[in-house]
Chain A
Amino acid sequence: MTNDIAGIKDTDVIMIIGSDTSAAHPVIAARIKQAVREGTAQLIVIDPKKIVMADYAKIYAAQRPGSDVAVLNCLMHIIIKNDLYNKEFVEKRTEAFDKLKAEVMKDKYSPENVEKLSGIPAEKLIEIAEMFGKAETASIFYAMGITQHTTGTDNVKSVANIQMLCGNLGKSGGGVNPLRGQSNVQGACDMGGLPNVYPGYQKVTDEKAQEKFEKAWGKKLSNKVGLTVTEMIDEAYNGKVKALYVMGENPYLSDPDQNHVIEALNKTDFLIVQDMFITETAELADVVLPASAFAEKEGHFTNTERRVQRLNKVIDAPVGAKDDWEIIQLLAQEMGGKWNYKTVSDITAEINLLTPSYGGITWERVGRMGLQWPCPTETHPGTPYLHKGNFARGLGLFSGIEFKEPDELPDEEYPLILTTGRVLQHFHTGTMSRKTEGLNRLAGPMVMISVEDAEKMGIGNSEEIEILTRRGKIKAPAFVTKKISPGVIYIPFHYKESPANRLTNPAIDPVAKIPEYKVCAAKVQKIN
């Protein structure tokens, strides 16, 4: 998030697009509902499902999955046409406005045309644009509904475009606010858990960065960008990746096209899984290393608003399990590395040294409330919101984003759009949440289907049906509801007994390499 959670009270209009906030980020949803209830903010919700947040929205619109760029371009089209954009911000803080205008002002993005593309009525698009454009401060919250597309990067850029256009960056209550889905996904990225960057987003292709880390670690480092998770699976499948070391992940359930993943994992020569449980992935491993749980160790998580917060040791780990860092250190030493961390805080100190934005977030300073990066020095108070006064690159760069259709569209054989996501009661692949029986009783597998589609096929509520795509087939009980648009079905991906990712399309965004979980062609059928 460019902005912080507390800033929600400073915003006038909130747009949620592609986030089932009350299911996946319930506490942020509560903050947004508070602002709506207190009357400080008005809410716009754009989502193919009529999510709970829609009940709090002034305007709710259901877009066809995958039409987000068209919708956002259309909103900008109207905002520019009606002269509602922030001219001062555009002039002083951005560049390439012409490029944006050249694209979004095309007739293709008129409300009438985008109504055809997105299914959102033209009047509603105008209403949204007016409300958003006229707001003193507006914020956008999104999650995987924006990013998990072959056009994920385009979607994100479009969100950035509209926020720059309306001058909603660099101030409290504004912002481009992706809601991060896992407790420390922000930290994993910040710490260089990515194939192209060292900690602090220092590029592996940057000679200076390479030199810096080589010096710090005393080792020659590669300047070649590595493989992303989807590429690793593909390369394992192709026999190029021979060994895979998986720490605390479960690609068996989380990655697209499950059958392909299983084959790929089976093809590796050596699969190491480090986890708390024998996960579905661990079943396939050659070696399983028992790790301690979050409650058994110290360290830090970085949350979605870039706040670094302390984990304290609550209970003792089971005898035999070790903290992940200890295991890694043992392996490093085995590989010949001269690692000598005595405590977790020794690693924290190294992070402070090598990661500029974490420079001031020392073990001693974090405190009970945490610190928000960037926090470069030990006297820096942390940064609640980014881009105040300046963008990292100087001027904010507009880009003209052309609308592109998703990789796989419904056709005669697979007439429905399948989209996936989370429910409130479960988390990701269920390794943690599904161990609590009460949560299982509250929410099991399901496929959400519109009343119209269900009636057409004679499907009753709770009836177990089959869902098929070009990749595979699963069974799940039908949840027949008016909350989803006709032509769209939705399946939560937590359940190994009804694994949604057996169905999903592995096609990825060319830049972010993110798979298109939110759109693929599917069909449903009754079980005889």
Chain B
Amino acid sequence: MPIFINGREFELKPGETVLEVALRNDIYIPHLCFHPKTGKAGKCRACIVEVEGRRGLLTSCNLVAEEGMKVVTDSKQVKDAQKIIVDLILSSGHHDCLSCEQNGNCELQDAAYYLGIERPSFDLAPAEIETDNSSEFIFVDRSKCISCGRCVEGCTRTVVNEVLNFANRGFETRISFDNELPMGESTCVQCGECVQLCPVGAIIDSRMIGRGRTWELEKVETVCPYCGVGCKLEMHVDRQKNEIIRVTGVEDSPTNEGMLCVKGRYGFDFVSSQDRITTPLIKENGKFRAADWAEVIPYVGKKLKAIKKEFGSDAIAGLTSAKVTNEENFAFQKFMRSEIGTNNVDHCARL
């Protein structure tokens, strides 16, 4: 038997929660603390629904879907309660969308929009804006934090670096690095898992600030060029400027499940580095001079042919690369074997 959500029938998979069934079928229920990776948290309470035959409002993120269950996500009672919850959250910090990096990619914004909350109704926001820019790559604005706990959960249970936690209690609850150290002085290794999990603009990549909002950037998946784990990345690109603005891990990758390390997330300046070579170079009298491809290819060919002719194929050796693609490695060894005629091909696998 299926499950009924707002009168529509949906198949359910074993163990799925009501929220998961709804989201899988594009039924939006406001949710701020649930994330597929960190799982149910039951903290924000915005995902409440009504279930026929059950008393009161139930949070759908930790409600296991059952066959025949009749769920209502949009009744007046549900939306009235959600409105208070989300309005209070919105009122509790400085959620200034205009210049927020998460604008358009903010789950609080989505919830407020869905519930028609135009501006916060309550006088709750702290007087001070509290930011922490002590970390090299990560910027923290605690006045935007909604204490959803995703970052804490991710730091503790996903990447298991165990740096983030909560300090204080009640309304004063705040995320803390180690024992309330500035992030840059803590034992944080800047893997950026917290950035990736933050539903609002509280923890963001410091280097993306002001360089483009989510809808302005094109996303392309590729593979990390660093170690051999082969983490899948999503690169957020400014097409006009031909620049990589931001990198996130691909959540459904079986290799890294969205995780990255500090290099994989922040170490891409080399791609657009001013030091890139943009023209072939030929050394003359101990100095490089620029050449074009039409010149350099015959130049190299001539040299190689001459050496092959004079000293034999085995006087030529080639180092292929552990950093280029399979196709390029294939081509390189084929070149050495079939065109040069030697098996003198190796790479730095051992180094």
Contact = CB atoms under 8 A, between A and B. Distances in A.
Nearest to B279: A320
Contacts of A325: 325, 327-328, 331
Nearest to A30: B159
Given A181-B228, A441-B136, 13 more contacts: A186-B228, A227-B317, A247-B321, A247-B328, A269-B307, A289-B280, A289-B300, A290-B276, A295-B244, A329-B331, A337-B338, A368-B232, A427-B263
B86 to A, nearest CB: 32
Nearest to B219: A314
B60 to A, nearest CB: 25
B13 interface: no
A294 interface: yes
B316 A245 contact: yes
A110 B317 CA distance: 47
Contacts of B314: 222, 224, 226-227
Contacts of B227: 24-26, 179-183, 427
Nearest to A256: B351
A312 B121 CA distance: 46
Interface stretch (B97-105, B163-171, B253-261): B253-261
Interface in A384-405: none
23 contacts: A25-B229, A26-B227, A27-B255, A37-B160, A183-B322, A196-B343, A204-B343, A219-B337, A227-B317, A228-B346, A232-B344, A244-B319, A249-B322, A294-B323, A301-B223, A302-B230, A334-B298, A337-B338, A370-B255, A425-B262, A433-B267, A442-B190, A514-B350
A179 to B, nearest CB: 6
A247 B266 contact: no
A328 B328 contact: yes
Interface in B307-339: 307, 311, 313-339
B230 A183 contact: yes
Contacts of B278: 290, 318-321
B320 A247 contact: yes
Interface string B52-89: 00000000000000000000000000000000000000
A192 interface: yes
Nearest to A347: B327
A185 B349 contact: yes
The residue among A180, A218, A432 with the most chain B CB atoms within 10 A of its own CB is: A432
Nearest to A345: B327
Given A34-B157, A221-B338, A314 B226 contact: no
Interface string B104-148: 000000000000000000000000000000001100000000000
B325 A300 contact: yes
Contact of B301 (A219, A278, A305, A331): A331
A173 to B, nearest CB: 15
B267 A427 contact: yes
B228 A332 contact: no
Interface stretch (A280-288, A453-461, A466-474): A280-288
Give the one of B252, B288, B332, B351 with max A CB within 10 A: B351
Interface in B274-320: 275-283, 288, 293, 296-301, 303-305, 307, 311, 313-320
Interface string A27-54: 1101001101100000000000000000
B307 A220 contact: no
A334 B325 CA distance: 22
Given A248-B321, A312-B220, A315-B271, A191 B330 contact: yes
Contacts of A348: 326-327
A458 to B, nearest CB: 29
A435 B255 contact: no
B329 A438 contact: no
A158 B262 CA distance: 34
A122 interface: no
A439 B266 contact: yes
Contacts of A310: 221-223
Interface string A214-253: 0001111110111111101001100011111111110100
A27 B227 CA distance: 10
B203 interface: no
Contacts of B276: 276-277, 290, 293, 318, 321
Contacts of B315: 240-243
A238 B209 CA distance: 54
Interface of B: 136-137, 157-160, 189-191, 207, 220-232, 235, 237, 242-244, 250, 252-256, 259-264, 266-273, 275-283, 288, 293, 296-301, 303-305, 307, 311, 313-351
Given A25-B229, A27-B231, A245-B319, A323 B328 contact: yes
Given A217-B338, A248-B323, A277-B276, A304 B229 contact: yes
Given A27-B256, A424-B189, A335 B301 contact: yes
A314 B230 contact: no
> Lowest 9 CB-CB distances: which A-B pairs, in order?
A303-B230, A299-B325, A180-B228, A226-B343, A248-B321, A334-B301, A33-B160, A435-B270, A185-B322
A293 B271 contact: yes
B304 to A, nearest CB: 6
Interface in A76-102: none
A255 B313 CA distance: 24
B251 to A, nearest CB: 12
Nearest to A32: B160
B142 to A, nearest CB: 22
Contacts of B344: 195, 226-227, 232, 241
A514 B311 CA distance: 27
Contacts of A275: 277
A344 B325 contact: yes
A243 B323 contact: no
Contacts of A236: 317
Interface residues of A, number: 151
Nearest to A233: B317
Contact of B267 (A185, A276, A312, A439): A439
Contacts of B303: 243, 270, 286
A261 to B, nearest CB: 11
A183 B224 CA distance: 7
B335 to A, nearest CB: 5
Contact of A351 (B221, B229, B279, B327): B327
A282 B18 CA distance: 59
A287 B283 contact: yes
A184 B326 contact: yes
A350 B330 contact: yes
B271 to A, nearest CB: 5
A189 interface: yes
Nearest to A225: B343
B351 A254 contact: yes
Contacts of A433: 226, 263, 267, 270
Interface string A399-417: 0000000000000000000
Contacts of B350: 147-148, 228-230, 512-515
A154 to B, nearest CB: 15
A332 to B, nearest CB: 5
Given A337-B339, A435-B269, A277 B326 contact: no
A236 B345 CA distance: 14
Nearest to B290: A320
A188 B327 contact: no
Interface string A431-446: 1110111110110000
A16 interface: no
A64 interface: no
Interface centre among B221, B250, B307, B347 (most CB of A within 10 A): B347
Q: Which of A180, A193, A332, A426 has the most CB atoms of chain B within a 10 A radius of its CB?
A: A193
Contact of A335 (B226, B259, B288, B339): B339
